[in-house]
Amino acid sequence: MKFVVDTGAMLSLASSLHFGKIRSLYELIITETIEHELQQFAVYNDNLGLKAQEVLKLKLVKKMPRHLLSLPLEKGEIEVFSLAYEEKCIALTDDAHAARVLREKFDVRVRPSFYVLVLLYKHKKISKEELIQDIDSILIRRNWLNGALWEYARREMEKL
């Protein structure tokens, strides 16, 4: 299974305790703008900068869409969503606003980054406890302890 991943979702996945497993099981695709955004994060030696440095050392697939969807979003998001549309695969973003804008105009499958963690759990690659622990870890590492998206994710995981 392959995913086209935006910067925020990639940093969330890189913050996962199971990032190596994710990379071995799924193809993560980025665009040139996403690579550039990761390079901008990588100049800092804080947590996200170190995660960006880690991601940039990987041999990720980098592709560009042939055509850009007409969306009132940032360039990186437009590239990611356009490529997911062309490749007929899932776009990963933790930007709820961008996902909503996309869904209103186009039939593109878009999910938050924690969707990949749920897949690991559903395919019995990690336990429920590991899933919840990982989401908690990402909440802390991304400094999203009050983030609505991740609080929702945590509540949903506890229902599994």
Q: Tell me, what CATH number does 49's domain have?
A: 3.40.50.1010
**Does a structural domain hold residue 31?**
yes
Average pLDDT of the chain, as a whole number: 92
**Does a structural domain hold residue 49?**
yes
Query: Does residue 4 register a pLDDT over 70?
Result: yes
Q: Are 33 and 39 in contact (CB under 8 A)?
A: no
Query: Does residue 2 register a pLDDT over 70?
Result: yes
Query: Does residue 144 register a pLDDT over 80?
Result: no
Query: Does residue 135 register a pLDDT over 90?
Result: no
- pLDDT at 149 (0 to 100): 67
**Does a structural domain hold residue 144?**
no
**Does a structural domain hold residue 97?**
yes
Residues of the domain holding 103: 2-114
- pLDDT at 63 (0 to 100): 98
- Give the number of domains in the chain: 1
DSSP 94-121: S-HHHHHHHHHH----EE-THHHHHHHH
